[in-house]
Amino acid sequence: MAEGPRDVTDEIRRRVGILEVISTHVTLRRAGRSYKGLCPFHSEKTPSFTVDPERGFFYCFGCRAGGDVFDFVMRIGGLSFSEARRELAERAGVRLEQTPAEDQRAGERERLLRAVAEAAGFFRAQLGGDAGKRARDYLAARGVATPVVEAFGLGYAPAGWDHLLRALRARGYEGAVLEQAGVVVARPGGDGYYDALRDRVIFPIRDLQGRPIAFGGRALDDATPKYLNSRETPLFTKGKTLYALDAARAAIRETGEAVVVEGYMDAVSCHQFGVRNAVASLGTALTLDQVLLLKRFASRAVLIYDADAAGVDAAERGMEIFDQGGLAVRIAVLPGQADPDSFLRARGTEAFGQVLAQARPAFEFRLAVATSRHDPDTVEGKVGIVDELGQLIIMAPDLVKQSEYVRLLAGRLSVPESAVRNQLARVSRTRERAPRLLPGDGVRVAADDTARTEAEHQLLHLLIADVSVREDLWNNLDLGLFREPGHRELAEALLASPSFEDDPGRLRERLRDETVISLLSRFLIAEPPVGDHRRIAGLCLRRIRQSELQARVQELLGQLGDASRAKDQARVEALQNELQVVYRELKVSV
């Protein structure tokens, strides 16, 4: 009887030691029960990358990358889980049994990859032939050097309706397969197919293994749109792909930073001029999936936009996406109507490097934009600036960042920080958000907000590190205790275990989010809090309960203020009674 997927995964873990795999990429030295080395995922001079061979996990205390042996192979090679599993199975000598459906899907994917690779070869050949002269002239006029053309596999899709179709059919590819690969389009009514890209310079879009999976085409005439991407296919999802990441990832890992531009030519020019950590968002607005993909290789990023209104709007949207993805970002604005391609050709690498060096942190950029829209020397302008930035500050991911934003804003407007906080409280109420005290207005609540997160963090660490704590709390552990989404996902995975003691590998398999997997790795490798673990866990639970009660107090106070302004006396009395009950509970919990 064939082993199931989980049995095979466990067998691979038993046969392939994580130390053996990682040692081929990182020089490791023993440090107690663990091993340490320089992290392969970001640039560092002091080792913060730790491997625990006993538990089978790695964690970097610098960039927070973590996971098991499968996660390491996925990160280092840019592979999917199934690809990493296949690679490790071959290394371990484990035979992977696949269902007929899995065999069929794998076969279909390989067939599509071959079809797209054949199309890429056809486009390259056309660029070098007689039909490609206009495309070659265009690239020469744009200053694209021949080695760069070859490195990026640039090509030309000839004018006409079916040149690619006929060429690939002659090599045995059916129209239906080519249509599924996104290189041809079905004619209306099912009467054959025609080429998806025609009379365009071709930019192959590659996966992390450097395999072509789709194409971008730049028109050589007045056709619209000027740039056109392949449609989405089983190989290609536009919002989950970054152009040139396969070429840039080594430089991104080396520098720790990615330069993000908008278009194909911008990325190609960056690489030609030595900015080899540049990627492009395929000419569309950035997505969270693209940021999370970039986060696998970079610890920070610089967004490059032009100075027009569209560029500023795109920068503001991009910052929000990077904030959601938890990747630090700065904004660089090119002067005038320049884009990275034209700027590099006109001014060169050194001037472009100066623009990158002057990139502003996200909040400073937003503040500069707001002061360009409102006069900071007038009362109305100051209010407008605070109102514009209010939601950004209120939604800041941590209180340290929030407090720093308040300080910067107050300093720029030459007003007391308390005035900024008071205005932000009004912004919060007008947007129908529960009033939340900012640093300085109610330090106790703000501090408890931080204490709540830390309490959740410590409690999870103890639950994973100490089986006695799990035994004590197993039946009374409520997922509602964990407000942080990552903490909740990890707690849910822990509670799904059939017993108090759980294999870390099995626990890892229940997790999907990379950040949560890294958090598990940290808890497995870092030393737990010193002291009586059961007592510390009890204190954590008490802090969480206090935080919930204090949040309820703030909510009720906000509602009480609204009821008072509305002169709803019955509502006021009801809220006052409820407040007294919560205050009593809060007093008992302290």
pLDDT at 441 over 50: no
Q: Are residues 183 and 106 in the same domain?
A: yes
Q: Are residues 265 and 343 in the same domain?
A: yes
Q: What is the pLDDT of residues 184-223, one digit of tens each?
A: 999 987 789 999 999 999 999 999 889 999 999 999 988 7
What's the whole-number mean pLDDT along residues 563-586?
83
In a domain, 282, yes or no: yes
Q: Which of these three, 198, 230, 262, is where a domain ends?
A: 230
What's the whole-number mean pLDDT along residues 307-336?
78
Residue with tokens 């002169």: 567
The whole-number pLDDT of residue 402 equals: 79
pLDDT at 43 over 80: no
The whole-number pLDDT of residue 588 equals: 62
Q: What is the pLDDT of residues 220-234, one digit of tens each?
A: 988 788 999 999 998
- Phi/psi of residue 261, nearest 5 degrees: -115, 180
Q: Is the peptide bond before 225 cis (omega within 30 degrees of 0)?
A: yes
Q: What angle do CA 258, 143, 159 make, to 5 degrees?
A: 100
What's the whole-number mean pLDDT along residues 553-571?
84
Q: What is the pLDDT of residues 48-79, one digit of tens each?
A: 999 999 999 999 998 889 999 999 998 888 78
Q: Which residues contact 367 (CB under 8 A, 6 or more apart)?
A: 385, 389, 408, 409, 412
Q: Are residues 381 and 409 in the same domain?
A: yes
Q: Are residues 308 and 427 in the same domain?
A: no
What mean pLDDT is reported for the chain?
Answer: 85
Confidence band for 105, pLDDT divided at 50, 70 and 90? low
In a domain, 463, yes or no: yes
The CATH code of the domain that includes 478 is: 1.10.860
Q: Enter the pTM of the model.
A: 0.70
Q: Is 96 helix (H, G, I), strand (E, B) or coil?
A: coil
The whole-number pLDDT of residue 354 equals: 94
Q: What is the pLDDT of residues 380-434, one digit of tens each?
A: 888 888 888 887 787 666 677 778 888 888 888 888 888 888 877 776 655 443 3
Q: Tell me which residue range forms the domain holding 529.
A: 442-590
The whole-number pLDDT of residue 370 equals: 87
Confidence band for 158, pLDDT divided at 50, 70 and 90? very high
Q: Are residues 454 and 350 in the same domain?
A: no
Q: Are residues 163 and 220 in the same domain?
A: yes
Q: Are residues 380 and 314 in the same domain?
A: no
* Whether 270 contacts 344, CB under 8 Å: yes
Through-space distance between the first and last CA atoms of the chain, rounded to whole angstroms: 59
Q: Are residues 201 and 269 in the same domain?
A: no
Take residue 436 and report the two structure tokens written for it: 């939340």
What's the whole-number mean pLDDT along residues 9-22?
89
What are the DSSP E strand ranges found in 359-472?
Answer: 360-361
Q: Which of these three, 42, 60, 92, is where a domain ends?
A: 92
| More confident: 552 or 588 | 552
The CATH code of the domain that includes 125 is: 3.90.980.10
Residue 338 CA, chain-centre distance (Å), reads: 28
Residue with tokens 């060096």: 357
The whole-number pLDDT of residue 481 equals: 83
Q: Given the DSSP bridges, would you call strands 212-219 and 184-186 parallel, antiparallel or unpaired? A: unpaired
Provide the CB-side half-sphere exposure for 24 (13 A, CA).
Answer: 10
* Whether 286 contacts 273, CB under 8 Å: no
Q: What is the pLDDT of residues 451-483, one digit of tens each?
A: 788 888 899 999 888 888 888 887 777 888 888
Q: Are residues 247 and 130 in the same domain?
A: no
Q: Are residues 309 and 194 in the same domain?
A: no
For residues 556 and 315, give the distance between their C-alpha atoms in angstroms, rounded to a whole number.
Answer: 38
